[in-house]
C-alpha cells in the first residue's frame, strides 16, 4: 500500500503523527537503506524496508492472522474494561486495524480469523454468502437421531428459523455427549440456542473450522500465527473476491 512516511509510522503505532514528523526530520528513519527527511515522502508499506533509530521494523500494514481463542476473552477489536482477543496479538495488529471476523462468545474456544481487509471481513459474514462454520459441542444428556433430524430440518428459535444444519454425534451417553455441528449462518449464540431448543445445555463449544480453514492441530490455545498465502487465497475465494 502506498502511504506517506509519517502516516506509515503512525499507522504502525511507532509514535504520534507530530513525533513521527520530528523523527523523520531528524534523520532517524531510513526507507530501503536511505535516510529520508521529508515526512510527506511516500513509501510502499508491504515491500519497502523500514529502519527507525537504527532498528529494522516489519512495516507491513496489511496482515491476516488466525488465533486459537481461549475461553475468557471478548471477541472485539477493543474494550475499555475487559481483555479482548487482540491482547494475544502483537500491538501492531491493533494499530493497523486488524479486526476479528465475526464473534465467538467469551466462553467459546477455537478458530478465529483476524484481518485488516474490511471488505473481505464483511463479505465472509454476509448472511447471503453462507460460509460454513464447524463447531464441536459438549452437551448435557444423550444426543440421538432425533436431534440430527431436528437440526437438518431447520430449528425454530424464538426470533428466527435456523437454516438446516448438519449434526454428527461423536460420542453419546446419559452423562453427556459430543456433537459436531456445521452451520452456515452466524447469529448470536446460534449453536447454543440450537442445542437448547432440543433440550441440551452446552457445556463447552469449540470452533474447529471457518469456511475453508481448519484449526491446525499444532496451534495451541492462546497461540496465533499469520495466514499462509494459500489460506488467505482460500478465504478470499470463499468471500467471492477477485
Ligand atoms: N454459536 C454460539 O452459540 N456461540 C459461539 O460462540 C459461536 C456460535
Strands 109-115 vs 224-226: parallel, antiparallel or unpaired: unpaired
Q: Give, as one character, the DSSP assignment of residue 156.
A: B
How high is the pLDDT of residue 110?
A: 98
State if residue 187 touches ligand 1 by the CB under 6 angstroms criterion: no
Kindly give the distance from the C-alpha atom of residue 178 to the centroid of ligand 1, in angstroms, as a whole number.
Answer: 15
* Distance set, CA 20 to CA 25, 27, 39, 79 (Å): 9, 11, 8, 27
Ligand 1 atom with the smallest distance to the CA of 202 is 3
> Which three-class secondary structure state does DSSP give residue 76?
coil
Test site for ligand 1: of 101, 105, 109, 194, most ligand atoms within 8 A of the Cβ: 105
Active-site residue set:
105
State if residue 107 touches ligand 1 by the CB under 6 angstroms criterion: no
Q: Which helix (H) or strand (E) holds 149?
A: helix 145-153
How high is the pLDDT of residue 51?
A: 97
Beta strands across the sheet bearing 50-52 = 34-35, 29-31, 50-52, 55-57
Chain length of the chain: 242
Nine-digit cell string for 90: 502483537
Distance CA 225, CA 73 (A): 18
Q: Distance between terminal CA atoms of the chain? A: 18
How high is the pLDDT of residue 242?
A: 82
Kindly give the distance from the C-alpha atom of residue 202 to the centroid of ligand 1, in angstroms, as a whole number.
Answer: 10
Kindly give the distance from the C-alpha atom of residue 192 to the centroid of ligand 1, in angstroms, as a whole number.
Answer: 6
Strands 109-115 vs 202-210: parallel, antiparallel or unpaired: parallel
State if residue 4 touches ligand 1 by the CB under 6 angstroms criterion: no
pTM of the model: 0.94
As a dihedral over the C-alpha atoms of residue 71, residue 197, residue 191, residue 141, rounded to 10 degrees, the angle is 60
Distance CA 9, CA 5 (A): 6
Residue 86: phi and psi, rounded to 5, are -65, -25
pLDDT tens track of the chain, all 242 residues?
A: 999 999 999 999 998 988 999 999 999 999 999 999 999 999 999 999 999 999 999 999 999 999 999 999 999 999 999 999 999 999 999 999 999 999 999 999 999 999 999 999 999 999 999 999 999 999 999 999 999 999 999 999 989 999 999 999 999 999 999 999 999 999 999 999 999 999 999 999 999 999 999 999 999 999 999 999 999 999 999 999 98
How high is the pLDDT of residue 38?
A: 97
Distance CA 6, CA 12 (A): 10
Test site for ligand 1: of 73, 191, 206, most ligand atoms within 8 A of the Cβ: 191
Closest residue by CA, ligand 1 atom 3: 189
Closest residue by CA, ligand 1 atom 7: 104
Residue 74: phi and psi, rounded to 5, are -80, 140
Amino acid at each position: 500500500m502506498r502511504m506517506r512516511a509519517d502516516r506509515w509510522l503512525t499507522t504502525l503505532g511507532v509514535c504520534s503523527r507530530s513525533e513521527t514528523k520530528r523523527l523523520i526530520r531528524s534523520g532517524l528513519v531510513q526507507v530501503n537503506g536511505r535516510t529520508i527527511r521529508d515526512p510527506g515522502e511516500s513509501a510502499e508499506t508491504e515491500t519497502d524496508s523500514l529502519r527507525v533509530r537504527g532498528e529494522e521494523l516489519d512495516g507491513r500494514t496489511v496482515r491476516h492472522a488466525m488465533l486459537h481463542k481461549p475461553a475468557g476473552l471478548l471477541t472485539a477489536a477493543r474494550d475499555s474494561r475487559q481483555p479482548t482477543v487482540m491482547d494475544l496479538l502483537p500491538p501492531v495488529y491493533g494499530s493497523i486495524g486488524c479486526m476479528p471476523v465475526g464473534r465467538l462468545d467469551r466462553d467459546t474456544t477455537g478458530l478465529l480469523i483476524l484481518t485488516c481487509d474490511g471488505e473481505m471481513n464483511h463479505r465472509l459474514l454476509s448472511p447471503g454468502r453462507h460460509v460454513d462454520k464447524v463447531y464441536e459441542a459438549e452437551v448435557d444428556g444423550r444426543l440421538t437421531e432425533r436431534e440430527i433430524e431436528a437440526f437438518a430440518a431447520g430449528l425454530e428459535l424464538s426470533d428466527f428459523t435456523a437454516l438446516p444444519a448438519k449434526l454428527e454425534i461423536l460420542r453419546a451417553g446419559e452423562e453427556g455427549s459430543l456433537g459436531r455441528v456445521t452451520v452456515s449462518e452466524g447469529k448470536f449464540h446460534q449453536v447454543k440456542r440450537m442445542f437448547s431448543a432440543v433440550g441440551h445445555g452446552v457445556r463447552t463449544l469449540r470452533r474447529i473450522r471457518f469456511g475453508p480453514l481448519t484449526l491446525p492441530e499444532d496451534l495451541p490455545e492462546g497461540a496465533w500465527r499469520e495466514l499462509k498465502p494459500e489460506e488467505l487465497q482460500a478465504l478470499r475465494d470463499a468471500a467471492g473476491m477477485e
